[in-house]
Amino acid sequence: MTGIILLDKPKDITSFGAVARVRRICGEKKCGHTGTLDPMATGVLTVMLGGATRFIELLPSHNKAYRALFRLGTTTDTLDITGKILETREVNVTAKEVKEKINDFIGDINQLPPMYSAVSVNGQRLYDLARQGIEVERKSRQVTVFSIDVLSENEEAGEYVILVECSSGTYIRTLISDLGEALGCGAVMTDLRRTKANGFEIENAVTLEQLEEAVNSGKIFDLLIPVDRALEEYPVIKVSEAQAKRFRNGGELSLERLKYPRMLGFFRVYDPNGNFIGIGEIGQKDCLEIKRVFMG
């Protein structure tokens, strides 16, 4: 079984746990995901099955979107509601002030990865260190927030719902925590739902229950998304049958024979029948080099 399952990850399960459930339901040993979601978070989790797992590290870095809830006046060690409360502060800011301050976080911003995160420092996950009570120095990262829309507000309770479109690698709970500090009262994320990732929307995702039902009814292949759908950002090169055979065997293809202009980067490669056969790269040499061959 080869392709992509677009999963709507449930709450209170790790991304690794969700993938393990997909592996068991589908009976496919090779299974991996393309972007971690915290246990409290729900939403789009792109799960690669079978031969599709070979392309995980070559997936383009797509923008993502999240629907998040937060509450003013509280801070925690994890920056979300699941953590230990560190401080409770008085809230004296209006909804108008919240909306105005949010605008300061649109554009290129620097974020410090939270200690409770999957980031590795010297070969150790930050969350493993955090659970031992160890805090280490972290380097800030530049991320891009394209838009933040306030979907609902409850000024009296200090609770807000926002929709954030951002670059890959953005931590929404860090964004909310930094917003709270900028407002002078602190803030904590209380819910998170990823609505877009890898070019896929939440409307097309399926639950674990729907996946299991599809397997039991023999309709699992109706849910499988072809692996090249996640690679559509890369341009297409079509090759002859002889060139396709050479490519599948790991051979380089001359750009002169391909009659293709020299454009650096990754390309989706298709045979004369329109079948996806892999990813190639044009580098400094005048040829298309094999990066991954599709084994569907």
What is the per-residue pLDDT across 234-289, written as a single tens digit (0 to 9) for each?
Answer: 999 999 999 999 999 989 998 888 877 778 899 999 999 999 999 999 988 888 88
- Tokens encoding 182: 């900028």
- Tokens encoding 244: 């396709």
Average pLDDT over residues 29-38: 91
Q: What share of the chain is helix, strand, coil (3-state, %, to 5)?
A: 30, 35, 35
Report the alpha-carbon angle 15-295-286, nearest 5: 105
What is the per-residue pLDDT across 133-189, written as a single tens digit (0 to 9) for each?
Answer: 656 566 788 999 999 999 999 999 999 999 999 998 899 999 999 999 999 999 999
Catalytic residue check, 104 = no
pLDDT at 256: 82
pLDDT at 35: 86
Q: Which domains does the chain have, with CATH numbers?
A: 3-60+199-229 (3.30.2350.10), 64-196 (3.30.2350.10), 234-293 (2.30.130.10)
**DSSP labels for 22-50?**
HHHHHT-S-EEESS---TT-EEEEEEEEG
What is the per-residue pLDDT across 76-110, written as a single tens digit (0 to 9) for each?
Answer: 999 999 999 999 999 999 999 999 999 999 999 99
N- to C-terminal Cα separation, the chain:
8
DSSP state of 117: S
Catalytic residue chosen out of the listed positions 8, 38, 178, 228? 38
Which 3 state secondary structure label does DSSP give 152? Answer: strand
Residue 213 has pLDDT above 80, yes or no: yes
Query: Residues of the chain with pLDDT > 90: what percent?
Result: 76
Distance CA 250, CA 122 (A): 35
pLDDT at 127: 61
**What is the value of pTM for the model shown?**
0.88
Residue 17 has pLDDT above 60, yes or no: yes
Residue 69 has pLDDT above 60, yes or no: yes
pLDDT at 116: 59
Average pLDDT over residues 50-70: 93
